[in-house]
A and B are shown apart, each in its own frame.
Chain A
């Protein structure tokens, strides 16, 4: 009786020896963000691990737009939301149509297009940023939110098409045949059979594209510069421009900006983790 107990104690101790550093490593930067948001400036800058007088004053300043850097806070939050939702919907539209055409309608050249899309997916987006910036300049779209929306759809679509095609290939082909026998048109098949069956993947992909757009920084700051056009991510980056940045406000905005995607991620975790791992593990 004695030995197993000792052994199990050492096992637990070993597990804790890994678990505690992992917890600290993960949480410290996030806790630091939270700490700043509830600390008065002096307390945050004095390196306190917990403020003597926690306060919501920073949130008051942010929500009331009572600082030079924050004069368009609500508008920028709205921009982030609007752009993310539009990107999510447009990506879903483009990717679902393409996946249906490639996987179910077996359109000629579909395979080539799938491969081209996949190729685009693997080229890091950071390398396409400068060409995209110059292109949007040529198209006269700089400082127009459509530039960012279209760029993000371009970046999000390849992976979306690929995931939807994989999911779509798994649907039994007899369904299509039965629908054809009954004289369904391709669009009826799409609307009445395909879309309902694909719902889980569609939710996953819509969320993926939405989060990608909400989180984007590089393309957003390249393509948008007007204070009334930019997203919250660019506004956060702009705080860095000054030497005396109000870091406690920056962190408060950062926390507000980080909460929605984190909430969505955890709410859709089942889809996200499942979809993403399926993609990579299969490879």
Chain B
């Protein structure tokens, strides 16, 4: 906040002929925008440029493609995206309909429901990780108590472990998207539903002809934005499975860290470069949407 203390008695601009004169408003505009520009140059432009420079050798990409873990991670990422996004958004759409129902207890429930979004992800993911512990976790204890059989070794089977990571991701982000879709539903004028009721429309017809048409743009935008965020979800995988067993549950967001750990920075950067064709179209879509 130091600029605030700068004396505000800026003298009237000298009408210097040589200099292209800036009004004090433009001058101050440049001064005030300078901190962000500086941050941008030093901590975005330089790192990105340096990263691309580190990933400049074609040999890095050859080695990357030769690494079976890379192919596995790409597949995992796609599964994570396709299953995760669709399941999450569909459930959010349904739950948004539930939460707009006028009941006092549902209002209270909606406050509790935000909890996963409001708390930091590390403690809750670690909590879930222990719940899934094959020997000591509460889930297998309960399975044993009710069926007498040993529960599965949840995080030791790659596909199950990945499924658990997807569920953790959904657990964490479902409240946010439900809130967004609730706002979308509340923006639909109530008269439309009343009119439909008068005409004898069924619940499904109301959804099909009123709710969905008014919400599909929001639903699509939300899905795209959610896809970008899901691509960058490092915690759900890293803290639950650590990429294991045998590095088989890595996704693109955690793969870079794996290569960094292996001291292969060029592969780390190359794997990020390989993710760009997936990210950039989504980013382009969002930029278009927001600049409208």
Chain A residues at the B interface, C-beta cutoff of 8 Å:
15, 18-19, 22-23, 25-30, 32-33, 36, 45-47, 49, 89, 93-95, 97-98, 100-102, 105-108, 110, 113, 115-120, 122-135, 138, 150-151, 153-154, 157, 161-162, 185-188, 190-191, 214-215, 217-218, 222, 233, 236-237, 239-240, 247, 250-251, 253-255, 257-258, 261-262, 265-266, 269, 273, 276-277, 280-281, 283
Q: Output the nearest chain A residue to B118 by Cβ-Cβ distance.
A: A265
Interface size counted on chain B using CB atoms at 8 A:
103
Check B260–A29 contact: CB distance below 8 A: no
Q: Report A-chain residues with C-beta under 8 Å of the C-beta of B228.
A: 122, 124
Q: How far is the CA of A19 from the CA of B103 in the complex (A)?
A: 11
Q: How far is the CA of A196 from the CA of B139 in the complex (A)?
A: 52
Q: How far is the CA of A105 from the CA of B29 in the complex (A)?
A: 6
Q: How far is the CA of A101 from the CA of B22 in the complex (A)?
A: 14
Check A98–B127 contact: CB distance below 8 A: no
Q: Report B-chain residues with C-beta under 8 Å of the C-beta of A257.
A: 120, 122-123
Option from A94, A190, A217 in Cβ contact (under 8 Å) with B36: A94
**How many A-B contacts are there with CB distance less than 8 Å?**
286
Q: How far is the CA of A262 from the CA of B141 in the complex (A)?
A: 30
Q: Output the nearest chain A residue to B105 by Cβ-Cβ distance.
A: A19
Any A CB within 8 A of the CB of B211: no
Check A123–B33 contact: CB distance below 8 A: no
Q: How far is the CA of A281 from the CA of B176 in the complex (A)?
A: 12
Q: How far is the CA of A113 from the CA of B37 in the complex (A)?
A: 8
A236-B256 contact in complex given A185-B8, A187-B6, A187-B8, C-beta closer than 8 Å: no
Given contacts A107-B29, A129-B234, A273-B179, 20 further A-B contacts (CB under 8 A): A19-B105, A27-B112, A30-B124, A33-B124, A101-B30, A107-B26, A107-B30, A119-B283, A124-B228, A127-B279, A135-B47, A187-B4, A217-B121, A217-B122, A237-B122, A254-B123, A261-B120, A262-B115, A265-B117, A280-B180
Check B28–A101 contact: CB distance below 8 A: yes
Q: Output the nearest chain B residue to A49 by Cβ-Cβ distance.
A: B138
Chain B residues at the A interface, C-beta cutoff of 8 Å:
1, 3-4, 6, 8-10, 24-26, 28-33, 35-37, 39-40, 43-44, 46-48, 50-51, 54, 95, 98, 101, 103, 105-106, 109, 111-124, 126-128, 130-131, 136-138, 140-142, 145, 171, 175-176, 179-180, 183-184, 187, 218, 221-222, 225, 228-229, 231-235, 238-239, 242, 252-254, 256-257, 260, 265, 268-269, 272, 275, 279, 282-283, 286-287, 289-291
Question: What are 26 A-B contacts with C-beta separation under 8 Å?
Answer: A23-B109, A26-B116, A29-B124, A47-B136, A89-B1, A93-B3, A94-B39, A101-B28, A110-B33, A119-B283, A122-B282, A122-B283, A126-B234, A127-B232, A127-B272, A127-B279, A131-B50, A132-B43, A132-B47, A134-B47, A154-B40, A186-B10, A217-B122, A217-B234, A266-B118, A276-B180
Interface of A is mostly: helix
A128-B48 contact in complex given A101-B33, A113-B33, A122-B228, C-beta closer than 8 Å: yes
Q: Report B-chain residues with C-beta under 8 Å of the C-beta of A94.
A: 35-36, 39
Check B48–A27 contact: CB distance below 8 A: no
Q: How far is the CA of A263 from the CA of B84 in the complex (A)?
A: 29
Check B36–A277 contact: CB distance below 8 A: no
Check A237–B43 contact: CB distance below 8 A: no
Option from B24, B40, B286 in Cβ contact (under 8 Å) with A116: B40
A186-B130 contact in complex given A105-B32, A135-B46, C-beta closer than 8 Å: no
Check B47–A97 contact: CB distance below 8 A: no
Residue of A97, A124, A214 with most chain B CB atoms under a 10 A cut-off:
A124
Q: Report B-chain residues with C-beta under 8 Å of the C-beta of A188.
A: 8
Q: Output the nearest chain B residue to A265 by Cβ-Cβ distance.
A: B118
Check B43–A27 contact: CB distance below 8 A: no
Q: Report B-chain residues with C-beta under 8 Å of the C-beta of A117.
A: 36, 40
